[in-house]
Chain A
C-alpha cells in the first residue's frame, strides 16, 4: 500500500511540484540573500566613503573656525602688547574671556621661550616643550595629544612683528564630539580616533577594509588625521558591522523564507489535490476495469468534460459493447445457429439446473429424437431444403413443448426437456411423433417427416446431463432399431447392452491384432457334378474369455464401427491364402459386407490377396446382399462391374429376403444366386415355398446364373431342391462348417467308404443316386 502511494501518480506530481517550488524558494532566498548582502556592503562602503568625506570637511571646518578665532586674537594689538611685554595676568584673562565667548576647551598662549599660559588642566614640562617645538616647527592645526586626551588644535602666530608666541585654540576630541560627528552620517559609523600603529597596513591604506571582530564581520575605513606636531599619527576610524547590517535584513529573509515555505506547502497541497482530482477518475476506472475483468457489469460516472470524461465515456461504451458481444458469443456458444434453439451445452446446463433443484411432484424427462431419412432429404433436395426442414421441425417442437425446453444437438437430432404436469410422458411422446410427422411443404417440396423418440427420466435414468443424454440416446437407438416412428423409454438393460457392445468393440479391435479371428469353411455341393464345388469362408472369433462368439453377435458391431473394413480385408486375404492349396475346381466364397463393399479400397484388397496367394481370380467368389441396391443402385452396379472386370465371381446372397427386386437381376449378370435359408426351411411344410424355389431356379437358369440353396438340413429338402433344378446346396445336411485343416479330408476320394466323418457326403451321394 505504502509502495503504491509512493509510486502513485499523485505522489509523483506532488513531489515534483513541491520540489520545483522549493527549488525556486531556495534560489530566490539565495539570490535575495546575496543581493541584500552585496547591497548592504555597497551601502556601507558608500556611507563610509561619504562619511569619511563629511567628517573630513567638518574637521577642516572646525580647524578653520578655530584658526580664524586664534588669528583674530593673535592680531589684536592689545593682546600682542600684553604678549610682547610678558603681561601674564592680562594674557590669561584675555584667553579666559575668549574661551568662554567661543566655547573653547582650551585657549592657550605659548611664548617662543616655551612659556605656556592659560592651559586648563595639568601640562607636564615635557609636554609644554613638545608643544612649543611643534609650534616652532610651524604646526598650525591637527590632533594635539595631551596625556591621553585628544584635541582638535589650531595655532596662530603672534607677531610683534616678529613671532613672540602663539595662540593655541583647542577643542577636545572626546566622546561628546565623536557623538556629534557620528550623527552626521546616515548610519552610525562609530567614528573613533585610533593610533595608526594600532591598525594593520591594509587598514591604514585608506581603503575600506574588512575585519572580523568576535562573531561579527566589520567593514572599516581609516582616514589619516593631521597631527599637531610630532605626536603619534592618529587616524579616524569608521567601522560598521556587516553582520549587524545584514541582521537588519533578517526579517525580510525570514519573511521570504516563511512565504517560500508557505508557498511550497500550498504547492504540495494544491498539486496533491489536483493530482487527486486527476487520478481519482483513473482509480475509479481501474476499479471498474477490475470488476469488468471479474465478469461484473460496471459503469463509471462521467463527471467531467475533459479527456478523462471522454475516457470514462469510452470505457462505458466499451463495457456495453463488450457485454453485448459477450451475450452474442454466449448465445452463439449456447444456441444453434440455424434454428436458434439451445445447443447441447445449454441442454447440459438446463439438466444440471433441474437436477440440482428438483421440483417436487413433477417428473422431468429428456426426449431425444431424430428425423427418419433426413440424409435422403439433404442428398436429394439439397442442404437449403434440409435446413428449412430442420427449422420447420424446430418450430413444431417449440409449439408442442409450449413452455418446455427444446435443443438441437446437431444434424437432425433434437432434445426436449418436459415435465409431466400437462401430459404424461407417454402421451407427450405420441403428441411429439404426431406433430413431427405432419406432412409439410418446404421450398416447394412436399415432405413427410418421420421420427423416433428415446426417453430418459431425470432422476431414475440419470442424475447428470451426460448420463441422461446417453440413456435417452440409447432409448432412441432402440426405438429406431425396433422400427421407425416409435418411441422407447430407457431401460437399464439398454445400458448394459450398450456397455457390452462397447467392450466387444474394444475386444474386436484387439482380436485382429492378436489373431483371435479365424475362418471356418462350409462346403457348397454341386448336385449335377456330385462333388464339392466351393467352400464359403465363415468368420469366427475365438474370444480369450468368452469363447467362440457367433458372427451375428459381432459382425453388425463391426459394421457399425467400421471395423468390418480391416476385418473383411483380412478375411479375403486369409481365404485366398488357404484356398490356393485346394484343387483348381474348388472355389472360395467370401461374404462382403455392404460397408466393406462401399469402401473404395476393396478392389485393391482383392488384387493384393490374389497376387499374394496366386489364386486364380475365377476361383474367388464374392457374396453380396440385396441391401446394396437399396441405397444407391447405380454406384453399386458400377462397383460390381469393376469387380467383375478383375475376373472374380459375384454371388447374390440371401436372395428372397427384404427388399427383393427382380430388376437388379436384370441389371447385373450375377454368377450365382443364393436362395435364403428361410425358403428352404418351409419347403416341407408349404407348397408355396416349393413354387418359389421353382420360379427362382427357373429365372436363374434363364439368366444363366447358378443357384445355391442355403441351410439344407435333411434329405427331404435336398430331394425337393434337386427336383426343382437347384444346382448347388449348402447346409448341415451335407456338412457343417469345418476348420481349414479338415477341408482336405472332406475332399479326398471315399477310400474307406465307411468313414464315419463322411456322413454327409454319403448322404449326398445316396440322395444323388436316389435322384438318378
Chain B
C-alpha cells in the first residue's frame, strides 16, 4: 500500500571532508512531477550528537492570508514555535496530532501564541474557524533535515558518513504516518544524490 519507489541511480561524490557528505534528494510524484514540502530526514546509524539541534530557519508558523506560512515547518524536538497572526481575522489554531495536542484559542491580529514541541513526529495544524487552513510542523530529532523546494529538491549538508536511515515524509503521502524510510549508506565522499518517487493522495 505504501508504495514508494526508489529509483536510485546512486552516484556518490566524495566530499572534501572524509566523514561527512551533502545529500541531495529529488522528490517526484508518480507522474514525475516535483513534490514540494516533502520533509527528508537522515538518521545516521551511529546516532547524533547530544547537543541541541539548530536549524537555519526561524521557528515561526505565521498565519497570513488565511493560511499557515510556511506550509511545512521543520522544528527540532524541544523547540518553541511562535504562531503570529498577521491576518485581520482571528484564528483558532489546533492540533490533534499525537506528538503535540494543543489549541491556541482565538487570537487576533498581531497577537502571537507559542507552543513547545516536546516529541518528534508530524503535527497537523488546523484552524477551527477556517477549515481550509492547513499547516504542518515536523518535529525532528536529527539535525539532518530539510524540505523540498518548489523544484522538489532538497540538499542536506554535512551528513555523517556511514549507514543511515533516510526518511521522507509528506502530508499527503500514501503511507503509514505519511512517511517512508530507507536504509542509506552515506559515503564519506561528500556528495550523495537521490531521487525519490512518492505516491501522493
Contact = CB atoms under 8 A, between A and B. Distances in A.
B131 A159 contact: yes
Contacts of A163: 201
B131 A162 contact: no
Given A80-B96, A84-B96, A85-B96, A162 B128 contact: no
Nearest to B132: A161
- Residue with the greatest number of chain A CB neighbours at <10 A, chosen from B96, B101, B134: B96
B131 A160 contact: no
A289 interface: no
A734 B190 CA distance: 218
A529 to B, nearest CB: 192
Contacts of B171: 162
B128 A160 contact: no
Nearest to B171: A162
Interface string B161-201: 00000000001001000100000000000000000000001
Contacts of A161: 124-126, 131, 133-134
Contacts of B174: 136
A63 B135 CA distance: 31
B126 A159 contact: yes
Interface string A392-429: 00000000000000000000000000000000000000
Interface in B112-162: 124-126, 128, 131, 133-134
Contacts of B125: 161
Contacts of B126: 159-161
A663 to B, nearest CB: 178
- Which size class do A's interface residues fall under? 10 to 19
Contacts of B96: 80-81, 84-85, 160, 164
A75 B134 contact: no
A39 interface: no
A20 to B, nearest CB: 81
Contacts of A81: 96
A88 to B, nearest CB: 15
- Residue with the greatest number of chain B CB neighbours at <10 A, chosen from A85, A136, A161, A163: A161
Contacts of B124: 160-162
Contacts of B97: 84
A163 B96 CA distance: 11
A77 interface: yes
A77 B134 contact: no
B67 to A, nearest CB: 12
Contacts of A84: 96-97
A162 B123 CA distance: 10
A679 B128 CA distance: 200
Nearest to B130: A161
A161 B101 CA distance: 13
Interface in A160-202: 160-164
Interface in A616-642: none
A95 to B, nearest CB: 18
Nearest to A84: B96
Contacts of B134: 159, 161-162
Interface string A76-92: 01001100110000000
Nearest to A113: B176
B98 to A, nearest CB: 9
Nearest to A80: B96
Nearest to B174: A136
Contacts of B133: 161
Contacts of B131: 75, 159, 161
Contacts of A80: 96
Contacts of A160: 96, 124, 126
B38 to A, nearest CB: 15
Nearest to B136: A162
Nearest to B176: A113
A111 to B, nearest CB: 13
Contacts of A77: 128
A378 to B, nearest CB: 155
24 contacts: A75-B131, A77-B128, A81-B96, A84-B96, A84-B97, A85-B96, A85-B101, A136-B201, A159-B131, A159-B134, A160-B96, A160-B124, A160-B126, A161-B124, A161-B125, A161-B126, A161-B131, A161-B133, A161-B134, A162-B124, A162-B171, A162-B178, A163-B201, A164-B96
Given A160-B96, A162-B124, 12 more contacts: A80-B96, A84-B96, A85-B96, A159-B131, A159-B134, A160-B124, A160-B126, A161-B125, A161-B131, A162-B134, A162-B178, A164-B96
